[in-house]
A and B are shown apart, each in its own frame.
Chain A
């Protein structure tokens, strides 16, 4: 019974770990996109027609 529990826990554990890794990468991508958006927004304001 112990071996069965161990095997099923490993299978679910590996899958959950992979899903968590995907979620972490997604957050990192989102942060990079936000950073890029803020940089491009600031460059537009400093070089755009309303820039002083």
Chain B
């Protein structure tokens, strides 16, 4: 009975639809999109690299919004959403930072250059990793989420700078293909592949943030129950 009701729950259908979208996007990325004339098949890394960056930025913006909300309202739900956003954002940033050099090595001839976009993305990874380490190392209490929220709002300044970096400074990283002015753009089938992949990665990000948020809320409730148990035992 329990399994039937869990199958009927909306989240199961959302997870199934996300998995379906990922499979469709994989077909478009590998078969549906035409092979690029100069780079060949290596260019197909782009269909995972760019959507991962979009998913990372969205999750980190969620972290910033939730942190700001926590500073205003002291809501435990906002704190849980901030943790979820930072963790999922960091996972997608890791994908960006690994797939980028795998593409760069055959195309640029080097794994890494200290270009504005690459440097800012690496700095962002370090910032959010340190944010999560700080949350792990400091003892739970009223100061820990406040300190983390203040740091998260401060760190969020890197998100728009990282996004705009390839528009403000023309260095090694390729110029934007979306919202990049009259010279930007892609062939129609390449754009379809990119947009489907973007939708799939954003859906995966949404599912992971939702799962992590629920887990963090459950952990908070469990900690409160444990504390109540200890008080009962003492009295």
Minimum distance in angstroms from A16 CB to a CB of chain B: 11
B91 touches A14 (CB 8 A): yes
B42 touches A18 (CB 8 A): no
| Chain B interface mostly | helix
B contact residues around A11 at 8 Å (CB): 48, 52, 95, 99
A1 touches B41 (CB 8 A): yes
Minimum distance in angstroms from A37 CB to a CB of chain B: 9
A3 touches B45 (CB 8 A): yes
B229 touches A10 (CB 8 A): no
For the complex, what is the distance from the CA of A40 to the CA of B103, rounded to whole Å?
A: 56
A22 and B103 in contact (CB under 8 A), knowing A10-B95, A29-B219, A40-B229? no
Fill in one digit per residue for A1-32: 1 if any B CB lies within 8 Å of its CB, else 0.
10110111011001100110010011001001
Fill in one digit per residue for B208-231: 1 if any A CB lies within 8 Å of its CB, else 0.
100110010011001001100100
A7 and B48 in contact (CB under 8 A), knowing A14-B91, A18-B208, A36-B229? yes
Within 8 A of B (CB), among A29-50: 29, 32-33, 36, 39-40, 43
Closest-by-CB residue of A relative to B207 is: A19
| In the complex, B150 has a CB within 8 A of chain A | no
Number of A-B contacts (CB under 8 A): 63
A10 touches B98 (CB 8 A): yes
A22 touches B215 (CB 8 A): yes
B211 touches A22 (CB 8 A): yes
For the complex, what is the distance from the CA of A39 to the CA of B208, rounded to whole Å?
A: 32
Instruction: Give A contacts to B, CB under 8 Å.
Output: 1, 3-4, 6-8, 10-11, 14-15, 18-19, 22, 25-26, 29, 32-33, 36, 39-40, 43
Known: A18-B88, A33-B222, A36-B226. 11 other contacts (CB 8 A): A3-B45, A4-B42, A7-B45, A7-B48, A7-B99, A10-B98, A11-B95, A14-B95, A18-B208, A29-B215, A29-B218
Question: 26 A-B Cβ contacts within 8 A?
Answer: A1-B41, A3-B42, A3-B45, A3-B102, A3-B103, A4-B41, A4-B42, A7-B45, A7-B48, A7-B49, A7-B98, A7-B103, A8-B45, A10-B98, A11-B99, A14-B94, A15-B91, A15-B95, A22-B211, A26-B215, A29-B218, A32-B226, A33-B222, A36-B226, A40-B229, A43-B229
